[in-house]
């Protein structure tokens, strides 16, 4: 890191109350503690929501150890459908709900084999990935009346893949008005149904063939 600053930077006094952030909005206690400890930086109009509990997820705590360094996509097929949130199983590929969904019903189509890149799929995996993606869209339309979908994959960490070592295709159902104040301003996603209930609903609507 660079050399330490000559002295602590003390935020300038503001006309609003000391426990207020931008536009006089009250700041959470954690934000007040962090901002009042002093240090280098320039104040701006953004508020910070400090979430140290998320560090457990970042560090991978509570993940079951296993082959491929505990890759969740390698562990999930060993679980029951209910425990692993598996919606459907094929011979080379399976469909599973996302544990951190963008929308209710957000699922992923994943090859059983631990493979990172789309070009590394064999013919069976390539074909069944397309078939299960099509069936996922059909099931979500039946189960929830989805009006549209975001379908695709992020290949590589720089492209935004959360688990880059194991390829997975996202299928995200969309509805008019599903992007509103909560995710855009509040940075909070409101999900009206528990994951296990959602899994069962989609599994029941899953087509047996095309």
Domain with CATH 3.30.428.10 in the chain: 68-205
Q: Which of 11-15, 33-37, 60-64, 117-121 has the highest mean pLDDT?
A: 117-121
**pTM > 0.85:** no
Catalytic residue among 106, 166, 168, 170: 168
CATH fold group of domain 68-205? HIT family, subunit A (3.30.428)
* pLDDT digit string, tens, across residues 51-71: 665 566 556 555 544 444 589
- Helical packing angle, 195-205 and 123-144, nearest 10°: 100
Give the pLDDT confidence of 99-119 residue by residue, as tens digits: 888 888 899 999 999 999 999
Taking Cα atoms as reference points, which of 122, 118, 68, 117 lies closest to residue 92? 122
Give me the chain's average pLDDT, please: 75
In the residue annotation, 170 being an active-site residue is answered as no
Residue 175's nearest CA partner among 103, 80, 77, 82 is 103
């Amino acid at each position: 890191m660079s050399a330490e600053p000559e002295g602590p930077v003390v935020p300038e006094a503001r006309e609003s109350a000391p426990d207020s952030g931008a536009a006089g909005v009250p700041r959470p206690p954690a934000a007040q503690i962090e901002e009042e400890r002093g240090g280098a930086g320039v104040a701006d109009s953004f508020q910070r929501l400090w979430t140290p509990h998320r560090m457990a997820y970042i560090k991978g705590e509570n993940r079951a150890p296993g082959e491929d360094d505990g890759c969740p996509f390698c562990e999930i097929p060993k679980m029951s459908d209910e425990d692993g949130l598996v919606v459907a199983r094929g011979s080379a590929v399976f469909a599973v709900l996302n544990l951190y969904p963008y929308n209710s019903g957000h699922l992923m189509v994943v090859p059983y084999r631990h493979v990172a890149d789309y070009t590394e799929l064999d013919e069976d995996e390539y074909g069944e990935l397309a078939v299960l993606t099509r069936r996922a869209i059909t099931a979500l339309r039946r189960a929830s009346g989805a009006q549209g979908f975001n379908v695709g994959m992020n290949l590589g960490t720089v492209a935004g893949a959360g688990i880059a070592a194991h390829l997975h295709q996202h299928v995200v159902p969309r509805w008019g008005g599903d992007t509103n104040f909560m995710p855009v301003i509040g940075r909070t996603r409101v999900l009206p149904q528990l994951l296990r209930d959602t899994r069962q609903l989609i599994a029941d609507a899953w087509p047996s063939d095309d």
